[in-house]
Amino acid sequence: MAAQILFSNNELLKLPDCEGLLENGKCKWLHIPACVGSTCSYYKNMYSIDKTQARLRSLDEETQEKIAQKYYSGSRPWSIGTKSWR
């Protein structure tokens, strides 16, 4: 017997692109019956890492170098041409 799902495929498409959203429409971080959407205080956009990398690339070279030395052992994972740290 197939497992019951909480939402139909159409309803899942209406939910936000949150990293905590499971395939059954529940949250992997909170013990709630269903995703509450982007109003949730734990909502984290799946593409926020891309935004972070773009922000780091927009900084001047000196600031990027300081961040790279302090947090990434001198490497710059946000640089164009390198793989994402995902």
> Can you give the residue ranges of every domain in the chain?
8-46, 50-86
Torsion of CA 17, 21, 24, 26, to 10 degrees: -130
Helix ranges (H only) for the chain are 9-14, 48-58, 61-71
For residue 1, the model assigns a pLDDT of: 41
Rounded to an integer, the average pLDDT of 78-84 is: 65
For residue 62, the model assigns a pLDDT of: 96
pLDDT in tens, 1-32: 444 455 555 666 677 777 777 877 788 888 88
Torsion of CA 53, 57, 58, 62, to 10 degrees: 130
For residue 47, the model assigns a pLDDT of: 64
pLDDT in tens, 29-73: 888 877 777 788 777 766 667 788 888 999 999 999 999 999 999
Confidence (pTM): 0.45
For residue 52, the model assigns a pLDDT of: 84
